[in-house]
Structure formats: structure tokens, C-alpha cells
Amino acid sequence: MDTFNQFHHLLSEPKKIAAFSFDENGNVMDNETENQVFLNKNVLTKENVNIDLKKNYEFYEHKVDECKVFFRSNMLLDFYKRGNKKLKEGLMGSDFFITRGTLSALAGGKGETSLISWAFVLDGVIIISCDNSLNSTGSTIQSYGGLYFETTITSKDGDEAENLNRHANNWEQYKEVYNVDVSLTNGETIRVAYSCEIDAFDKNTMTPLEIKTQYLKNTQFTGGKIFGYNKSVTVGLQCMLGNIHEVVVGYKDEDNVVCKIKKYPVRDILKPSSIGVAITKCCYQLGRRLEYIKKLFLGKKNKGCFKIETFDFSKEFSTTYHPEIVPEVKKLFTEEFCDTFF
């Protein structure tokens, strides 16, 4: 597909290098596609949609941060084993390992007030991990609503009707890991490996889908725009990094009840020229920041760690160096990971 061709001179088309499913303890499952789900076939044709995004909230255990510790640790340990105890080989020669969300933030295209991450080097690979305990990520009920919506409209076979009684959880995830080559101003490239949660697949095409919610009051954008400017940039960048070409949107009222569901091609989000210009700037900024971080570590002979702070849709960017791996870094990883690498 040609959705993102206009950006590929700055960011190569993502190449899938691995896939992971996790059990309730955050361990990597033998069947990598165990947690893969499909959009239910009747979702886009059903009339009188009525999905209360607050339903079953009382049963929800918010374990996002805990799950991320296990996910990032166990993925990296798996790549370490794949590379015969050489992490860089396991990651196909990548210079960085990161998540899609943190990569978007580094590019300046993620709507956070600020984002704190920590970076350190293992076997020539710069690991960047977001510290969610220091970041504002919205309310728990907002987080739950999006997760519950995904849970309700998807299933493992894609043949179910919507199931309003299913309970949402943080651990039942399917992730793919990609690498891309990011162009630098000197004509060279930096290779980045990153994990990306896949919300669902279209069963007919076996292509990944991004699932979002949107308030009905925000549907009257000029020129038929699907999202406002900032959200369009964020979603467009996320989809490019995930090699995702379609977005499913659940429209909700003021009571957080979804009453309409639509699917859009990502190219429609990118139609306004201002969105393409903004994403292009994000790609340039990503290259500059990755190059800068790499030079910082070279200056420290790849020792110690850096605290990195980025700001939403901004050129502001700050780093603080620590000569040792500090406790704030270690808490982002499991004991097994720390024993293996630190």
C-alpha cells in the first residue's frame, strides 16, 4: 500500500522481526499468536450500537505499569537468547530498542504534557524505557474505556457478536516487533527496533487495525476531517510505525457510551497537507534526537544512563546523565533481567 510513501525517504517501511503473546504473569507464550484477535464481523454493520465504556469497571485491575515491566524485560531476554547471548544480533543489528509510544514521543508526535524515559546501553543497543510512574497518562477510567471497547468488538475468531460481559485486562496482549531505518541529516541511517501492540486484525485481509474512541461532539471538523489536528498527527504517526492502514473509531457520547462505529483508511487522516507536513517534521526530529542520544553515549563510552524528558508537539528536549545504572532504571525491569544484564 502507498499510504506512507511520502515519508519513506525519512523512515523506511517497518519490517517485522518478531511477535509475542503474553500470559497473565507477563511471560512469553510458546504460541506467539495466542493473543491475536480479529474485529468481529458484525461490528461495522450493526445498528443501534450501545456500548457503555464504564461497564464492568468494578472488576478491572489496573496493572499497566506492572505488565509493561514484564513485557519489556521478557522481550529483551528473548532477543538475547535468539542472538546466542548477543542482544544486537537478536535484534537484527538494531542501534535502539524502544516501544512505539515512546518512539512517537521522541518524534514529538504524542500528546503528553511531558514524558520521562531512561536510556542505557546493552551490547551496543541503546534501550529506552518510559517511566510511567512519572508521566501523566490520563485517568484510569479513560484508560479502561479504550481497553474495554477493544475487548468488546474483537474476538479470537472474529465471528462473535459484541460481548458486553467480557472483562478487560492489561496482560492479554499481542505485540509485534519491527525495525526501521531512520534517516539522518548526514545521509546515514540509524536502525531502531520497537515493540507495537496490535489492537486487532481484519480477518478478510489479515492486516492490522488501530482502534480508537472519539467523542461525538468532536465529529464536526471542517473539511470532513476524522480527528482534530493534534490527534491526526499522533494517530498518523502511530499507524505509520505500526504499518497500519485502517483505523476503527468508536464514537461516544458525554456518558462514555459508544453509539456509532466507523472504519477509515489512514490515508484519509493524512489528506490535509498540514498533517503530512507535521509528520514529516516529526520524522526529521526523530532522526536528530536519536543521533544526539547516540552521540551522548559515545561521549560516555556507553556507560551509565540518561534521563530523557520530552514534551508534547514540542522541540523541547532535556537529558540528565548518571554514571551508574540508577534504581529508577532497575525498577523498570524484572529481577531476572537485572541479574542478567546489570
Q: What is the pLDDT of residues 83-122, one digit of tens each?
A: 999 999 999 999 999 999 999 989 987 665 678 999 999 9
pLDDT digits (tens, 9 = 90+) for 24-33: 999 999 999 9
Q: What is the mean pLDDT of residues 168-190?
A: 95
Q: Which of 47-61, 104-118, 213-227, 250-264 has the lowest mean pLDDT?
A: 213-227
All 3 cell numbers of residue 131? 517511566
Sign of the CA dihedral running 264, 268, 274, 276: positive
Cell numbers 471538523 correspond to: 221
DSSP single-letter state for residue 22 = B
Please give the mean pLDDT across all residues of the chain.
92
pTM reported for the whole predicted model: 0.94
| Cα dihedral 9→13→18→20 (10° resolution) | 110
Number of domains in the chain: 1
Closest CA to 142 of 176, 168, 171: 168
Question: What's the domain range around 214?
Answer: 5-341
Distance CA 59, CA 164 (A): 13
Please tell me the predicted confidence (pLDDT) of residue 140: 84
Distance CA 315, CA 68 (A): 27
Q: What is the mean pLDDT of residues 142-146?
A: 90
Please tell me the predicted confidence (pLDDT) of residue 219: 62
Q: What is the mean pLDDT of residues 205-215?
A: 96
Query: Residue 1's pLDDT band (boundaries 50, 70, 90)?
Result: low
